[in-house]
Structure 1
Amino acid sequence: MSTFVEKVAEAAEALRSLFPATPLQENDYLSRKTGARILLKREDLTPVRSYKIRGAFNFFRKALAKGEAPESFVCASAGNHAQGFAYVCRHFGRRGVVFMPVTTPQQKIDKTRLFGGDFVEIRLIGDFFDDCYHAAQEFSVAEGGMMVPPFDHKDIIEGQATVAYEIASQLGQDEADLVILPVGGGGLAAGVTHYLHQKGASTDFRFAEPAGAPSLQAALGKGRRVKLETVDNFVDGAAVAEIGREPLRHLKDFAPEAVRLVPENRLCATIIEMLNIEGVVLEPAGALGIDALKDFSRKDLKGKTVVAVVSGGNFDFERLPEVKERALRFEGKKKYFIFRFPQRPGALRDFLQLMGPDDDITRFEYLKKSARNFGSVLIGIETKDRKNFGILRKRFDEAGWAYQDITDNETIAGLII
């Protein structure tokens, strides 16, 4: 009976019929910044710009090798899994049906259709993922379809483990001191850690989860799978309410402290940083591993070889304004205030004279007239240096302005910004 390592090697060899090994690139900018040798495993450079194609391919390959020939392969996804699934359907010449929520952006629908061509049918069902997932399950039972899960299956994990096979081959005689893995459902993390452990590597691991979707950390803390009551969907490629059963079987012995929770706004700053400085386009989930480097001190990383897996680059540029906004707020360079604005001639001029040369008003909106002589005004201010807000507040106070900083007030900001 083949070992896991042997099965992964076989999967990696078969995968070469689709695309060559993705690069393991040393990043000079991040290396200088951290004092370590930072290597990026560029899964954003697969044909579908994410690692998801690996698991889907291996699932199909093994199902077909067993002589299984369903009426159609089926998946429920609005993201990278759908695109990898579609690409593999076309590769094997098999019919695939993709269930997506009605709310899926047209760009994602078009890309999935492009990768699958005539072999894939897309069905838009429901407003939320759970709706289309249940529809996909019902279709599979009724029509003799075979569900291809995004992460919770041993063949999917085996396929994702080919990332580790390539890393080990590309490092040669060297060994990574630390591998940082993004986590959503856990298939990639399970495959990579299991493979390297089976190979006898002494590599340390850290896992990067969105702060708003800590399903792995919650499970490790409780010693069992936990379904999160709420999930922040901003990091859509990793916003999973419950870690997969099969992935957790491989990850259960890690301590909760091995998981680094990445704040969504800080992640936005990393996306902008990599785009502006390195010209690398990353989706939020794809930037998790790079962002997690910020949680290590220079002393912790100095002289070490660190591999950060870049899981995907399917970034919708319509989201860029939101990402830039959140990055500026994290960096303290943009804030929102509600001012009690006097209703008199010259009030706006007086206010503008308090602004410095590096300060810019990006939003000015009357919310309501609070009284005959005053009105509530929402004012957004952006500056080049976060320290400028200390100067501005002092000027506002000395001039007698009544105001409230609502930047970090999620309730108020969520309603009016």
Structure 2
Amino acid sequence: MTGTATQAPTTARLPYMTRTRLGVSLLFLMNGFMMGSWAPMIPEFAKRFSLSESALGLVILVYGLGSLSFMPIAGSQIGRLGSRTVTLAVALIMVPTLLLITMANALWAAVIAVFLFGGLTGAMDVAMNANAVVVERSMRRAIMSSCHAFWSLGGLIGAGLGGLLITKIGIYGHAIALTIIAAALLAVAWPRVQVDRPHPEEERPKGGLPMTPLPWIIGIMALFSMIPEGAILDWGALYLRNELSASVTLSGFGFAAFSLTMAIMRFAGDLVRDRFGAVRTLQFCSAISIVGLLIAGFAPNAFVAIAGFAIAGIGISNMVPIAFSAAGNMPGMAPGIALSVVTTMGYSGILVAPSAIGFIAEHTGLAAVFIGLPLLHVVVLMLSKLARHADGASGH
């Protein structure tokens, strides 16, 4: 989960934390919390409906298709209604969705609930990112990296607390508790979310899809950066539980450890990139993620695998923000056109690609999947020079 960086003027900046920045940060925290809470529910979901890995892969594909279906709808509605209205409406509808998934007794009902959860998660992602851009402009400072750090922090809390709550109070108690927590976060954020005016004319792209290869190549960078993130979210708990004999509680800590290191590095992301530049930062991040994924794949036990996921989180944390920033600052091209390509390709990596992993894992096992995933980041490493365009956003 990631957003775009925008260039901010260096004069007349507001204080570091404002009411509206807190509001949008809490929305990112809530969205990450809901997604993180889904991770430890997946093994129970598969067991409840006796799903094979490939069948579970299809369900996860439904989640991804829901997100990719709702994202453009959210984008069009932001132009009509403003980002605040869309974000809050979508967030409100999303609050009970994990409870609906838990309560579903028939597979068809559960699949519909998963599609709805995926769609609303994706729609909220687009809308809250748009609201973060509005807050950036009003504050005259970049805040996007820290917003996504709050998303990772939410993922950490949701995944870490989820396995523990499922063990202590059961799957239904867990679903009720996370719904209450999500509703509370939304209630606190609600009056603090930045009000913006709709600008329908700005939502209409001035041109079609770019014909030059550069945005598509950077889109591949975003795609290959995000596939391993989706793999850890959707398959990490199952890998720890089924192949490394982890307990239910321990299996939730794979994505939690990944989210913790990702959150820390995203809070530091702007400073690191300003100090070393986008290209060197991306090269370092790619190399670290390769090491972490290999450790997870070759792990002899769950604790080593969790350490591997944590190291991968350090690397993956700022790969996608750099790719998105490079797209938004591409010379001679309107930011919206390049970003529409790169964000769609990137999000498909985290939302749709993990479903294919289920079919591969059925024949190879998940350990082999995590050993193979670093090849994608080798490609990102080879393309890293293209990240130089992201340094155009370092006006903050």
TM-score range, shorter chain: under 0.3
- What TM-score, normalized by structure 2, do the two folds share? 0.25
- What TM-score, normalized by structure 1, do the two folds share? 0.24
More strand by share: 1
> Structure with the greater relative contact order (CA < 8 A, sep ≥ 6): 1 or 2?
2
Query: Which of the pair has more CA radius of gyration?
Result: 1
